[in-house]
Structure 1
Amino acid sequence: MEFAMRQCNPTLFLTALIPVAVISPLIAIALGTANISLVDVVGAIWRAVNSMIEPGPMATISDRIIVELRMPRVLMAMVCGAGLAVSGSVLQSVTRNPLADPYLFGISAGASLGAILALTGGISVLSLPVCAFLGSLIAVAVVMVMARDGQVETLVLSGVAISFLLSSMANLILYFGDPQATQMVLFWSLGSFSRATWGSLMLPAFTVIIATLIIYQFHRPLQALIAGDESAQTQGVSVLPLRLGMLLLTALMTSSLVATCGGIGFVGLMIPHVVRILTGSASASSLITTALLGAVLMVWVDLLARQILPSQELPVGVMTAMLGSVFFIGLLIKRRHRLRK
């Protein structure tokens, strides 16, 4: 669903996006129940960095609010947005399906099922990422077994089937589960960064950064794969190992994010579309652009979720679903308008 329009130079667009990716989190940190000036935000961050070199107490209450409460939340939003966007971009490349994202292949559903089992089963919170990853790994394994013929169509259909199956199992557990645990799972499943801490940030940040760097090293084989399996094989690409490896990497990223932030949809589906529409690029820089744009989008969505209602916070997953729906409805309307011409 890409359209003929004046596209930006990929390098210029990425260059313009970098300062936006720096300024956006500063604004998000500054705004909240108690607004703080950008000067104070930058000063608090500077003092926090210095205190890592020379440990000392926080200077003011606002410093503690910025460093201990708002920074982890905003950084978690950036990591989540970048990770989901990169995952969606990779899945769309390996399947040549513009509608592919972690939800389509059961990766998110498997991670959610594992996390729900951990939450309702009284398992330690520390085991939540492990259970989520195991759930997503099982989903990927089942999909790969069902699609062992290597056909993209079989892979997509298998992913859809497994996604619905795992989602129904998760809902069944919630239906028969303890009401208190169900309430906690419901809040978690809608997606939120409200419980982000420096400790909970470490695992998803490390996972997303390492996985993205690995994926970046394979950008040429991934570009070759977009042209088709046969074309990629003629260029020396081992299609099945590459496809399996990319699925495992996206499963690792998605599970770490789902375990920490809950279910947040449409980001992995929408951001790669936006990057292709704006730049029309399948170059190495497009992966960085996708990650940065996903991070920026999630920061602003989280800020809107915090600010749109007084004394109340909307789930981030609800906001991304609304935004994604409007985005794709807009694309469909534009496409219909062009076809009539």
Structure 2
Amino acid sequence: MAKPSVKKAILALAILLPASVFISLLIGSAQIDAAELWAVLTLQQDVSALDDTIIWQIRLPRLLCAMLVGAGLAISGAVLQNVSRNPLADPYLFGLMAGAGLGATLVSVVLPVGQFSLAIGAFVGALFAVALVFAACSGQHWRKMEVTLLAGVAVSFMLSAISSFILYFAEPFAANRIMFWLMGSLSRSDWQSFTLLLPVTVLVIVLALALRRQLDALLLGDESARTLGVNTPALRLTLLLATALLTAVIVSQCGGIAFVGLMIPHIARRLFGVTSVPLLLGSALCGALFLIWVDTMARTVLPQQEIPLGVITSLLGSVFFLIIMRRQALR
């Protein structure tokens, strides 16, 4: 049962989230004031067609996708960190993001690109990364999550190198487009992206919440979890595949956005504790808020230009990673 203070913190974030969406909708190259925005959102008749298009076709779907991407990456990181009991676990470091990026790159270069085909290619690539990680940890070694994590880092570098090799020989304009997308961008987000991201994100959150007791048991150690009736290998494999699916869909829609899955669960763990329900809900809310404001920064800091999201999150995340790693080394 969550403490009253934790419940209040989650409620505060839940209130802050729509407020952040409303404020972010006001920010952009086209000036729209709060009264005009409210009129558009409440479907009043006396609004300009331009304002209606900007809000409903450009800014709102992009912001909703930012919320889902941030929540999805944060949930994936929280799940991976709990099942591995490794505070440095993250979809990037398990090779999932690199595998999904490779699959999406191949689809972009070889096949006619559509939202669904990109998602399928990214998912196949993420599954390929998972297969490589488990193959590298053949025998009983995959049960040791520190070995699995190191294998994921190696697989991530290998698959990223293959993606770069493919892009080197691709047509220059297509290569530039794919490279910008792989650095992470929500510029292509629309309502179709939202309809792809929403069910998968909700599915993984519901699955993780349904397995909350097993996840909490893992925090006690594998031996203790097994004495409580938890099938630890099956649980880890199920959750790894679920995070692979979610990561793949995210990469297919907005490319690689690094370190969100590393940073946000640590912040949520400080605020809400380590038990699964408050951690997962807190991670989802913090991740959504974080990416809303990172995306707002990315599209407004430079005039007439957009900074790739992955550049900002990598800059923040690399510093965060070094701090966490130093703390772990000093223990």
User: TM-score scaled to structure 2, two decimals?
Assistant: 0.91
- The answer (yes or no) to whether the contact 1:103–1:265 under 8 Å persists in 2 is yes
| 2:37 pairs with 1:47 | no
Return the alpha-carbon distance in structure 2 between the equivalents of residues 57 and 173 of structure 1.
Answer: 51
What is the rounded CA distance, in whole Å, between the counterparts of 1:305 and 1:196 in structure 2?
A: 14
User: Which piece of structure 1 moves more, 309-318 or 297-306?
Assistant: 309-318
- For 1:24, the equivalent position in structure 2 comes to 20
User: Which of the residues 5, 9, 12 maps onto 1:13?
Assistant: 9
Shift of 1:157: 2.1
Structure 1 residue 110 and structure 2 residue 99: aligned?
yes
- Is the aligned partner of 1:190 residue 2:183? yes
- Residue in 1 aligned with 2:201? 208
Aligned to 1:247: 240
Q: 1:307 is matched with which residue: 267, 284, 300? A: 300
Q: Which runs of 4+ in 1 moved over 4 A?
A: 56-59, 328-333
Structure 2 runs not aligned, ≥5 long: none
User: Which residue does 1:132 correspond to in 2?
Assistant: 122
Residue 194 of structure 1: SS of its match in structure 2? coil
TM-score when scaled to structure 1? 0.89
Q: How far apart are residue 144 of structure 1 and its match? A: 2.5
Shift, 1:277, TM fit: 2.0
Question: What is the percentage of aligned positions where both structures have the same residue?
Answer: 44
Q: CA deviation at 1:309?
A: 1.2
Aligned partner (choices 223, 229, 243) of residue 222 of structure 2? 229
Residue 97 (structure 1) aligned with residue 93 (structure 2): no
The whole-number CA distance in structure 2 between the counterparts of 1:262 and 1:91 is: 20
Residues of 2 paired with 1:23 and 1:97: CA distance?
34
- The code of the aligned residue for 1:47 comes to L
TM-aligned CA distance change 1:180 to 1:61, over 3 Å: closer
Post-superposition offset of 1:238: 0.6
Higher alpha-carbon deviation: 281-290 or 212-221: 281-290
Q: Is the 8 A contact 1:10 1:286 kept in 2?
A: no
Tell me, what secondary structure is at the counterpart of 1:9?
helix
Distance 1:332 1:160, change over 3 A: closer
Partners of 2:19 and 2:55 lie apart in 1 by 15
- Kindly provide the amino acid, as one letter, of the partner of residue 186 in structure 1: M
Match of 1:4 in 2: none
Residues 145 and 331 of structure 1: is their aligned pair in 2 closer, same or farther, counting only changes over 3 Å?
closer
Instruction: Tell me which residue corresponds to 2:50.
Output: 61
The 2-side partners of 1:61 and 1:175 are apart by 40
- Contact in 2 for aligned 1:78/1:295 (Cα 8 Å): yes
Q: Which amino acid aligns with 1:317?
A: G
- Shifted more, 238-247 versus 116-125: the winner is 116-125
- 1:99 match: secondary structure: coil
Matches within 5 A, 1:148-297: 148-149=139-140, 150-297=143-290
Assess if the C-alpha contact under 8 Å between 2:123 and 2:244 holds in 1: yes
Asked if the contact 1:8–1:279 (Cα under 8 Å) also holds between the matched residues in 2, the reply is: no
Contact 1:191 1:316 in 2 (8 A): yes
CA distance in 2, matches of 1:18, 1:229: 34
Higher mean displacement: 154-163 or 254-263: 154-163
Listed one character per residue, the Cα deviations across residues 266-320 of structure 1 (whole Å, up to 9, x for unaligned) are: 1000000111122333241220110010000000000011111122111111111
Q: Which runs of 5+ in 1 are unaligned?
A: 1-6, 49-55
Quickly say closer, same or farther: Cα 1:58–1:218, change in 2 above 3 A: farther
Task: Note if contact 2:122-2:248 (Cα within 8 Å) is conserved in structure 1.
Answer: yes
Q: Aligned partners of 1:80, 1:318: CA distance in 2, in Å?
A: 16
- Distance change in 2, residues 1:93/1:26 (3 Å): same
Aligned to 2:70: 81
What is the Cα-based RMSD across aligned positions, in Å?
2.2
Query: Is 2:36–2:47's contact at 8 Å kept on the other side of the alignment?
Result: no
- Shift in CA distance, 136/331, structure 1 to aligned 2, threshold 3 Å: closer
